[in-house]
Amino acid sequence: MSQSVAKQKKTSFLDRVEKLGNRMPHPFMLFIWLLAIVVVLSAICSFFQISAVHPGTGDTLTVKNFLSFYGLRYLVLNFVGNYQGLPILGSVLMLSIASGICQETGFFSAAIRSGLKNAKGFGIVAVVSFIGVLANAAGDAAWILVPPIAGMIFYGAGRNPLAGMFCGYAAVGGGFSTEFIPGYDMLIVPVTNQAAQMVSPGFKLPYLTAYYALFVSGILITILNTIVTVKIIEPRLGKYTKTPDSSIGEYNMTLSDTEKKALKKSVAALVIFLAALVVACIPQNSFLRSDTGSLIFDAPLMDGLLTLLLAFFAIPGIVYGVGVGRIKSPNDVIDVMIKATMEIAPFLVMLIAIAQFINVFTASNLGAILAINGAAFLKSLSIPGQVLIVLFILLVAFINLFIGSGSTKWMLLGPIFVPMLMQLGFHPAFIQFAYRLGDCSTNHLTPLMAYMIILLTNCKKYDPEVGMGTIISNMVAYSAVFLVAQCIFAVVWMSLGIPVGINGPIYLN
């Protein structure tokens, strides 16, 4: 069998995954189709008088027919309100502006280059893995910045630069199951709360509800990413013997004196901010404490975490921008914020369709009835809780191959699985945590991730023969290890019975 035929067979399954994903409609249209399906199902279920007894109130829930004048009237009256009331809307805007300031001023790039430039020997792989995991707090910028810098670091150290880029790319993808720096939970906690309120009205989950377990997951992914790179990827790729494209030199790893000074000032400003925050928390009558003196439960510190995170990113970003001359007046800050908002314009448009799907799914009572009856069915099967969670993680990892956006995917899955698993006794904090474990495992594997095209472009600078099959076949190793390890991690954490975070128990009772 020729090498080309063997390679074709080896990648044929992944090629089919890519083709299938490419045939899927745009996410906006996907949610329009889902909305149409919900409307039709509401009519069918209403006709057959499908119902369920609410476990919290004891009320009998029936399906409301949205394929009717009632449904049309609901959409006419609530179409705009559904969008404006979407819990995720404010979080997306604020975090995008905050991280956008750091990205546009060059702070993220300088910080990553500074963190990687002194790495040597085996430590190079570990540092690249850690920086990639940590950089997930930077959002989309991490996908773009980390891989090419990692490739240059590996090349300069005499290692295969492709292995460096694969290492960085996989670390960023796996990093979405981690929480060294709070960030991603700010986007999905509002969705979780809204879904949980279908079962428990008034339910509220704090932002750091899974911080403990996600912090440990960060250490786990860093170690696994390092091991896979050294033991599997580098031996598989072999020694790099080609001559890279001349354009490689255009990405300067060395910080200029101006950049170094600006970076020091921005870090100092960040330290001052954090120190001031700590000092402000000390007094027992601090404005950041609750009426009972707590810094955690019902405390402004926790409720205002999104605002504090905005400052956490904006302060060093602005100070760095001033230091390098990118920001010369307040107008420049505004321009940077506007540009950051423009980057998420497609997502804001997509939320129009998502908002209608979520609200009709909830208002029709289909979500609650599906959760109640689905939970009753699962209970009748007597499946152990550990097995259910593993199956949930595997399902999320599979769906992630076709829907890359984590927040979009959770807005689809959250209203179904949060109330359903709550009926089985799981706390929403642990359900959300399990979702993140599955979400991270195939982020870097899916060919539908737009950043994979950017990675391919950068890889071709070192080897023109690299194709999508090359990238995907190497990403399979990272995904397989991550997925197995995260399933084991979830089961072990459940067995230990340790809360996953602040006010984040595993079970409701």
Q: Which residues partner with 62 through β-bridges? A: 51
Task: Check residue 5 and give its pLDDT.
Answer: 46
- Which region holds residue 26: left if phi is over 0, alpha if psi is between -120 and 50, else beta? beta
Per-residue pLDDT of the chain (509 residues; tens, 9 = 90+): 444 444 444 445 545 655 655 566 667 887 888 899 999 999 999 999 888 887 666 778 899 999 999 999 999 999 999 898 877 787 778 877 887 888 888 888 888 778 776 666 778 899 889 988 988 776 667 787 788 888 888 887 788 999 999 999 999 989 877 887 776 777 788 889 888 888 888 888 888 888 899 999 999 999 999 999 999 999 988 898 887 876 665 455 678 899 999 999 999 999 999 999 999 999 999 999 988 888 877 788 888 888 888 888 899 999 999 999 999 998 998 998 888 888 778 778 888 988 898 889 888 988 778 877 887 787 788 889 899 999 999 988 888 877 656 567 788 788 888 988 998 899 999 999 999 999 888 888 877 676 787 788 888 889 888 887 888 888 989 999 999 999 999 999 999 999 999 888 999 87
What the block records as the tokens of 13 is 């399954």
Angle at 347 between CA 346 and CA 349, to 5 degrees: 65
Q: Helices 468-496 & 161-174, crossing angle to 10 degrees?
A: 40
What are the DSSP calls for 89-122, one per residue?
HHHHHHHHHHHHHHHHHTHHHHHHHHHHTT--TH
Task: Check residue 248 and give its pLDDT.
Answer: 60
CA dist list (Å): 10 to 7, 248, 260, 472: 5, 31, 47, 11
What are the DSSP calls for 38-97, one per residue?
HHHHHHHHHHTT-EEE-TTT-PEEE----SSHHHHHHHHHHHHHHHHT-THHHHHHHHHH
Using a cut of 0.85, tell me whether the model's pTM lies above it.
no
Residue of 180, 132, 139 whose CA lies nearest to 153: 132
Residue of 14, 479, 474 whose CA lies nearest to 232: 474
Task: Check residue 268 and give its pLDDT.
Answer: 96
Task: Check residue 3 and give its pLDDT.
Answer: 46
CB-based burial label for 205 (10 Å; 0-12, 13-18, 19+): buried
CA dist list (Å): 36 to 78, 396, 488: 17, 23, 38
Task: Check residue 320 and give its pLDDT.
Answer: 94
What are the DSSP calls for 462-504, one per residue?
T-TT--HHHHHHHHHHHHHHHHHHHHHHHHHHHHHT--SBTTB
Task: Check residue 119 and give its pLDDT.
Answer: 67
Task: Check residue 325 and give its pLDDT.
Answer: 92
CB-based burial label for 25 (10 Å; 0-12, 13-18, 19+): exposed
Cα four-point dihedral sign 96, 259, 459, 475: negative
Task: Check residue 1 and give its pLDDT.
Answer: 41
Task: Check residue 4 and give its pLDDT.
Answer: 47
Angle at 363 between CA 357 and CA 364, to 5 degrees: 90
Residue of 38, 54, 45 whose CA lies nearest to 422: 54
What the block records as the tokens of 243 is 């001559």
Q: Rounded to the nearest 5°, which phi and psi values hold at 221?
A: -65, -40
What the block records as the tokens of 177 is 């199951």
